[in-house]
Amino acid sequence: MTLGDLTVLVGPQATGKSLLLELFKLLIDRGAIRQTLRDYNLSWQETTQFVELYFGEGLGGLIQPDTKIIFNKKAVKLEHLLKYRAIQKEQVFYIPAQRVMSLRDGITRPFTDFRPGDPFVVRQFSETLHRLVQTEFVRQETLFPQQQRFNKTLRDAIAAHIFGDYRLETSIDRMQRRFVLRRSLEAEGLPFLVWSAGQREFTPLLLGFYWLIPAGKVSRRNALKWVIVEEPEMGLHPQAITTVVLLLLELLRRGYRVLVSTHAPHVLA
């Protein structure tokens, strides 16, 4: 596979798209991944144990003795990757297909809220959203729309095709910050579980874009070079999918290289 500034993988379920993209992140971010697992007191003795920690429970046998990994025209052995001890900054930001798992009843979930057998990319993405809400949005109730996030064209498209007349806000409930949709300041907030499926799927995707496109004069997270987005069309109707594609193009405009996996011909169209 030769990667461009925008690379789109299209195919049916269970053909290996996610495994390929997760392997790509592992090859690029091996030092950062090892350090993150160590920081959360996760350890392994064998390669199969690491494979389960990273790819997920039940996938320990994914890498067989005769498996060949060729990266940048060089053969790579997984056991050699695990010995890579240099501490490096993450270069690949991964938005997984299971992104809705990053919110439980409208509350962000930290890395430690998952089981060790859950895929690493899901746990790390969820931790990123948790930190984003707890830091950059700690004093803000309204998450969308925000004047300093995205240009007016993008904000209007998101409002028209995804959130409608509602605002995405945080509300304190039982001493926890939860996401709600609210039509006006006086209206009662709608809890996460009564949202449409598309709104539930899009909200963690939106927060991922917020992370990649900081507010203010900073155009991007400089350490990050690659963005992987799985199934951006999940739960959305065609006009909403077009809105997400506009956001992907905004990432390109800001200098990221983007990899997308999808089942939807509309994304290509």
Residue 27 pLDDT? 92
Query: In 3D, which of 86, 81, 76, 77 has the Cα closest to residue 54?
Result: 81
pTM: 0.94
Q: How many angstroms separate the CA atoms of 238 and 11, rounded? A: 19
- Mean pLDDT for the stretch of residues 239-267: 94
Residue 195 pLDDT? 96
Output the CA–CA distances (angstroms, integers) from residue 136 to 36, 61, 141, 149, 219, in the order listed. Answer: 22, 40, 11, 12, 16
**Predicted confidence (pLDDT) per residue in 142-155, tens digit:** 899 988 889 999 99
**Predicted confidence (pLDDT) per residue in 188-229, tens digit:** 889 999 999 999 999 999 999 999 998 877 888 888 999 999
**Predicted confidence (pLDDT) per residue in 60-111, tens digit:** 888 888 888 999 999 988 877 777 666 678 999 999 999 999 999 999 999 9
**Predicted confidence (pLDDT) per residue in 18-48, tens digit:** 999 999 999 999 989 988 998 999 988 888 8
* pLDDT exceeds cutoff 80 at 242: yes
The DSSP code sequence of 49-75 is: HHHHHHH-TT-TTSS-TT--EEETTEE
Structural domain spans, the chain: 6-24+31-70+86-268
**Predicted confidence (pLDDT) per residue in 252-265, tens digit:** 999 999 999 998 88
Strand boundaries in the chain, DSSP class E: 6-10, 69-71, 74-76, 92-95, 103-104, 107-108, 142-144, 167-173, 176-182, 190-191, 226-230, 257-262
